[in-house]
Amino acid sequence: MHDTRKVNVMEDIYGENEHIAVHTREALTERDAFCVNVMGAPGVGKTSCLKALFACLKERRPYVVEGDIESDLDARHLRELGIPAIQLNTFGACHLDAPLVRNGVQNIQFEGPSMLFIENIGNLVCPAEFSIGEHVKLLISSVTEGSDKPYKYPLAFEKADLILVNKVDLKPYLDFDEDFFMKGLRALNPEAPVFFVSARDGSGFAEAAAWLEHKAAHMREEAYPHHHHHHHD
């Protein structure tokens, strides 16, 4: 009895969140803002990787929503660099949810083709369970975390559409086993592209940015798969 009721409540929470996330994604598609949900553990280099990606975007302007439990350090830092950034604080919660993101995103003034990066709370578990209105989920891992993370945190690796393995500049000092990492990852996720990058020196980000911009160029077809687009040129 008790278990059944708990399951029902959880289904309602996930269902309501999913419903709002779908609406946010549709609204962002209409505004030509491709939305990337950026997930990864604390200190893996999420903010650093975003800055490296911005430098490689050719077709779209970057916008950022920073999610943190407390503080607005990352958002302030990005604004100082001239990147439009807003801060969302969860005050304790371990992930962003769709209602919070919807309210934050509503007031962004997108100018032309845009790419909205939402840096989720640093955490390799909870953010993977909730959609927030993104077109793709970007998971950032790093060689400093160790090569066993796909085995220990499967959901984040399973749900990712794109994976960056950051801090490769530090690889000579570590025992990161790339074959073991890739074996665990591919068992969960056969498709997602994986790029080995260093936010320290910028290597690997041109390819990742190109993949995102290619996806962004096709977001309307993916949002309305039953519409037929006729191209004339």
Ligand X SMILES: Nc1nc2c(ncn2[C@@H]2O[C@H](COP(=O)(O)OP(=O)(O)O)[C@@H](O)[C@H]2O)c(=O)[nH]1
Q: Give the footprint of Mg ion on this chain (CB under 5 A).
A: 46-47, 74
Q: Is the distance from CB of 99 to CB of 14 less than 8 angstroms? A: no
Interface with ligand X, residue 47, by CB under 6 A: yes
Q: What is the SS3 string spanning 43-56? A: CCCHHHHHHHHHCC
- Say how far apart CA 134 and CA 212 lie, in whole Å: 12
Binding flags for ligand X, 119-138, as an x/- string (CB under 6 A): ---x----------------
Q: Give the residue, chosen from 27, 48, 129, 213, that forms a contact with ligand X under the rule CB under 6 A.
A: 48
Interface region with ligand X, contact rule CB under 6 A, candidates 27-35, 42-50, 53-61, 214-222: 42-50
Contacts of 42 (CB under 8 A, 6+ apart): 122, 123
Indicate whether 44 belongs to the interface with ligand X (CB under 6 A).
yes
Question: Which residue number, 59 or 144, has a Cβ lying nearer to ligand X?
Answer: 144
Least distance to ligand X, CB of residue 168, Å: 7
What is the spatial distance between Cα 55 and Cα 201, in angstroms, rounded to a whole number?
Answer: 12
Decide which of Mg ion, ligand X, none touches 62; Cβ closer than 5 to 8 Å per partner kind.
Answer: none
- H-helix segments, 93-143: 98-105
Amino acid (one-letter) located at 135? H
Binding site for ligand X (CB under 6 A): 40, 42-48, 122, 166-167, 169-170, 198-200
